[in-house]
A and B are shown apart, each in its own frame.
Chain A
């Protein structure tokens, strides 16, 4: 497994519910993401554990786009990845964000 820690600037959305949330499943080509309150309102934190080696640049690009696409400051996203493609990563993160908004 490869691990990745990333802290990125992002806007904060006060209306998001502060509860923790788990989305997705760790299975081949898929991932789970645990969303929790983070330490800094202006930043979001990503903790990634991935089965695919050598993709830190791609992860960085995907997560940067996500952090600029949505106001997710003040949140921590912990990811267990079992070889999801970047498209699936983005989709799961978007879905997790959407669930936060509606829960």
Chain B
């Protein structure tokens, strides 16, 4: 009836994201909701459970290429990782190796560890990290997609940064400790979590892209995420010519040594810089940054990076 707006990635459920990212009708879910593998730990605390424990995993096609897709549901317990939830992600990463997937699409939408099963969640995230390394070692690129309501925080903020590419929307957030936690412990002067503009200048898609932590800034549009993920997948090396292999590769060491220098340089930024605004000022960018749309913003940064 009406001309429909682009389908918001942020507003879509994990299931709808999966549907929109993959070629139509190509998705097969593993351990789907009908299996009812819910969290016994939530139930023990009389908290609501979900049929898929808040994460959808399976395989499908992206531009006719076999991919594994993992999508956390940010609205269920803040997308937090519990025992079942974590095991599903780990299993899916390992299965990507088995089925020789062309890539893994990891839709991170999580505050980190689920407190109701905190110990299981913490170990699970460590296991996810190991499985992710294994997939990468097998030459399968893992692409993080961040644009949900919870962003990528805690252990899942680390996991997102382990991926080969990180696609983020302006609404997406990426960090370690949530602003509320910092405010609670260190006081409102350190971090006013109610100042949304500040929160986004510290953790939001634009500043993450500016610092090179995100590969690309995207519109809040599932189709934009799909197109960017496909491009990343096609641009990545295929299994045959992967530089990642068992044993010490001089390549890998040098890459990490270069990353070390890069991160050291960033940490040496003027200690007075505590706000994304200052980072942009430091780069000679002004107020105009705020209203630039993602395409314009990527172009602006690419021009500087060249």
Name A residues whose Cβ lies closer than 8 Å to a Cβ of B.
Answer: 1, 20, 22, 24-27, 30, 32, 34, 36, 49, 51, 78, 80-82
Contacts and interface: CB of A to CB of B under 8 A. Distances in A.
B51 A34 contact: yes
B34 A34 contact: yes
Given A22-B51, A51-B48, A80-B51, A27 B33 contact: no
B7 interface: no
A81 B51 contact: no
Contacts of A1: 43, 46, 48
Interface in B72-86: 73, 75-76
A27 B75 contact: yes
B13 interface: yes
A36 B33 CA distance: 11
A49 B32 CA distance: 19
Contacts of A20: 32-34
B33 A26 contact: no
Size band of the interface chain B makes with A: 10 to 19
Interface of B: 13-15, 32-34, 43, 46-52, 73, 75-76
A57 to B, nearest CB: 21
A80 B36 CA distance: 11
Contact of A32 (B43, B46, B47, B51): B51
A82 B50 CA distance: 10
Contacts of B13: 24-25
Contacts of B50: 25-26, 32, 80
Contact of B49 (A22, A36, A80): A80
Contacts of B51: 22, 32, 34, 78, 80
Contact of B48 (A24, A34, A36, A49): A49
Given A34-B33, A36-B34, A25 B48 contact: no
14 contacts: A22-B15, A22-B33, A24-B13, A25-B13, A25-B14, A25-B75, A25-B76, A26-B49, A26-B75, A32-B51, A34-B34, A51-B47, A80-B48, A80-B50
Contact of B73 (A25, A34, A78, A80): A25
Contacts of B43: 1
A78 B34 CA distance: 10
A22 B73 CA distance: 13
A81 B76 CA distance: 11
Contacts of B52: 22
Contacts of B46: 1
Nearest to A1: B46
Given A1-B48, A20-B34, A22-B15, 13 more contacts: A1-B46, A20-B33, A22-B32, A22-B33, A22-B52, A25-B76, A26-B49, A26-B76, A27-B75, A27-B76, A32-B33, A32-B50, A49-B49
Contacts of A27: 75-76
Contacts of A34: 33-34, 51
A80 B42 CA distance: 13
Contacts of A80: 48-51
B298 to A, nearest CB: 31
Give the residue among A20, A22, A24, A51 with the most B Cβ atoms within 10 A: A22
A34 B49 CA distance: 13
A22 B29 CA distance: 12
Lowest 8 CB-CB distances: which A-B pairs, in order?
A27-B75, A22-B33, A26-B50, A20-B34, A25-B75, A82-B48, A26-B76, A26-B48
A62 B104 CA distance: 42
